[in-house]
A = this chain, B = another copy of it.
């Protein structure tokens, strides 16, 4: 395989997170399911924001978080996602550039505002997300340059991208371009509710177009409507060349053909789980594209995830390369 300009190209919903601490009672009062992501419209976003506790804004978006973490680990990374030409769009673009990620997507003019995700973090560190997709709904096939896809060893797609309707076409377009160039396609299932919304499409995508699958135990079990995690894991093993399945404090399981590698979770004080899965995928792909073995990939992934859940926000606050070296 010819060498590429990028190790990883992420494609996803470009979102600014608004993170606030809240009690469990706030979630139940507002009909939220703890630990999951709900899509909300502009009016609901405004209503919910008005009653939310004080927040901290930072760039988010699942695949964008993965890209920022992977770049922090030394991988060469590009990202595609749609922001608007507004203040939050500038924040998103600044942060992903400053993280060292190539971000060529043009902002949307005169349409919906930059997407935002209202995140409530409960005292147990779980995050509950409410996403207003805004400008993300305009991302389509035309936003994915096949030459850029061909120039990345792995194209990484977030499952959340299935929510804005036009993005599914971008999804298949990117996968086809990657495979035509002899590259790999990675997918994160993102969220069990997202899997339930799009199960048939996901099943077809995973079986037919995905080389590397990331999922947590709830997501992979939902994808295959399996009776338990072990059964779901075996279906994933049959479907994709490589699967990395996470189980929170129980660590993760990596499957490649007949090979099975168990990775222990890094010890971590859980402050905010936002971005844990994103960081895991980043560490794994940074290791993989650097030619590391599966056990090393899993360890780097776990170290990156532990860093991110130790503070508020989904982007790293420490020097990840130094953490991994230690």
- What residues on B are CB-neighbors of A57 within 8 Å? 56-58, 91
A52 to B98, CA, bound (A): 7
A99 at the interface (CB under 8 A from B): yes
Number of copies: 2
How big is the A interface, by class? 20 to 34
A312 to B58, CA, bound (A): 13
A69-111 vs B: 1/0 string, CB under 8 Å?
0000000000000000011100100111011000000000000
- What residues on B are CB-neighbors of A98 within 8 Å? 20, 52-55
A21 at the interface (CB under 8 A from B): yes
A317 at the interface (CB under 8 A from B): yes
- What residues on B are CB-neighbors of A113 within 8 Å? 87
A55 to B97, CA, bound (A): 11
User: Are A95 and B55 closer than 8 Å at their CB atoms?
Assistant: yes
19 A-B contacts (beta carbon < 8 Å): A21-B317, A54-B59, A54-B68, A54-B94, A54-B95, A54-B96, A54-B99, A54-B315, A55-B94, A55-B95, A55-B98, A56-B57, A56-B313, A57-B57, A57-B58, A87-B87, A87-B88, A87-B113, A312-B317
* Chain A residues packing against B (C-beta within 8 Å): 20-21, 49-50, 52-59, 68, 86-88, 91, 94-96, 98-99, 113, 312-313, 315, 317
